[in-house]
A = this chain, B = another copy of it.
Amino acid sequence: MTKAPTVYDVAERAGVSIATVSRVLRTPDAVRPATRDRVLDAVTDLGYVPSGSARGLAERRTGVLGLYFPGFDAVEGIPPLDVLADGQAGPYTVVREDGPRDDGRASMLFQDEVLRGAELEAWRRGFVLMVGVGRGDPATATVRDMAGRVDGLVVLAGSVADPMLERLAERVPVVVLAGPRHGDRHDHVTVSNTEGMAALTRHVLARTGGRAPVYLAGPDDSPDGAQRWEGFCAALADAGCPLDDVVVRHGDFTRSSGRRVGERLIAEGLPAALMSSNDQMALGVLDALHAAGVDVPGDLVVTGFDGIDAGALSTPSLTTVRQPMRELGRAAIQVLARRLDAPGAAPMSVRLPVEVVLRGSA
């Protein structure tokens, strides 16, 4: 770390010009083996590592792809931590914990999986991945910053305002993940929310003899939620089940909001089925039903949507629709890579299939 060696240092040590050093690193076949070995020795001796900045500047491409998520953690909610200041804490503490925490980690798991897939695919293509999370006041600052450092950007729907996205797209290719196209020219990757919910709804109707389920909707501004609702309605219509009979409850995608709805269900009388627009709320409903001793799926069936792990571990386990999260990440990078190869191609939309997972609750 004294002073990072450069091509000049390597060149001098190997007794060649910097052009030759560069060639050894980039097109080894273009240089005589004897020369090549001398250069490689010098590289090893000096511990030379090429500067990504210089390379990026000269090449006009960085070899980096960006992945940008909507903020999941409120800035205010961040517990302080300063490992440099306080070394006073003991090596351990003891806590007693009853019942699972309502930690709202679902969307984070989703993002984690997407990230995994994206990293994998980026690696396979010789790119490295840069990640950013939209949060804080100049939330756009981070993504703008990233845009200046990458060859392409994958943006989760909802993390960047449209006008900003438009601007970014002017500089680097942008792929929008999990968001429907609305008049933009970006590439899109989505999942079959509508079809998945329709299939699940048909399953539920078959189980309940066609009686209309109660629908548990999420926030109004969720595009995913809208699509799921659409699939629900379509399946009902197909089955000749009038929409007017459907009771709709609203939650905010959290487990506790589901719990409240569950309690209300019990108070007002159980329907034949409760279909939630996400898993977290469905689990909350199960919490309430379980506490009240209701038999699921005997007294009513319950379904979710997303396929989070916790759904497999609940009692009863949750019937749901699993999103191909990892594949979403991979697909996004694949689409981005295509875009880099063919900048002029028409914008494309990729829609990934979902998996209807039948488990205990329905």
**A residues near B, CB below 8 A?**
1, 4, 47, 49-57, 62-64, 73, 78, 81-84, 87, 89-101, 105, 108-109, 112, 115-116, 119-121, 123, 128-133, 135-136, 142, 144-150, 167-173, 189, 192, 195-196, 199, 203, 309-310, 312-315, 317, 321, 327, 330-331, 334-335, 338, 343, 350-359
- Rounded to whole Å, the gap between the CB of A272 and the closest CB of chain B is 21
15 contacts between A and B (CB under 8 A): A1-B171, A1-B343, A49-B144, A49-B148, A92-B196, A92-B353, A93-B353, A108-B116, A112-B112, A119-B131, A119-B132, A120-B133, A123-B142, A128-B149, A309-B309
Cβ contact within 8 Å between B327 and A81: yes
In the assembled complex, the Cα of A98 lies from the Cα of B358 at a distance in Å of 8
Which B residues lie within 8 Å of A321 (CB)? Answer: 92
Closest B-chain residue to A66, C-beta based?
B128
Closest B-chain residue to A87, C-beta based?
B350
Question: With A100-B313, A130-B128 in contact, is A355–B92 under 8 Å at CB?
Answer: yes
Which B residues lie within 8 Å of A78 (CB)? Answer: 120
Which B residues lie within 8 Å of A356 (CB)? Answer: 92-95
In the assembled complex, the Cα of A116 lies from the Cα of B103 at a distance in Å of 15
Which B residues lie within 8 Å of A359 (CB)? Answer: 96-98
- Rounded to whole Å, the gap between the CB of A302 and the closest CB of chain B is 16
Cβ contact within 8 Å between B64 and A354: no
Q: Could you say which of A53, A82, A147, A171 has the most chain B C-beta atoms within 10 Å of its C-beta?
A: A53
Which B residues lie within 8 Å of A116 (CB)? Answer: 108
Cβ contact within 8 Å between A52 and B47: no
> Nearest 7 CB-CB pairs, A to B?
A52-B149, A53-B56, A91-B195, A91-B192, A313-B313, A112-B112, A53-B57
Partner of A128, one of B95, B123, B132, B330: B132
Partner of A148, one of B55, B100, B168, B351: B55
Cβ contact within 8 Å between B108 and A358: no
In the assembled complex, the Cα of A353 lies from the Cα of B90 at a distance in Å of 6
Question: With A73-B120, A95-B355, A356-B92 in contact, is A130–B100 under 8 Å at CB?
Answer: no
In the assembled complex, the Cα of A317 lies from the Cα of B131 at a distance in Å of 34
Cβ contact within 8 Å between B90 and A119: no
Question: With A1-B172, A57-B57, A84-B338 in contact, is A148–B50 under 8 Å at CB?
Answer: yes
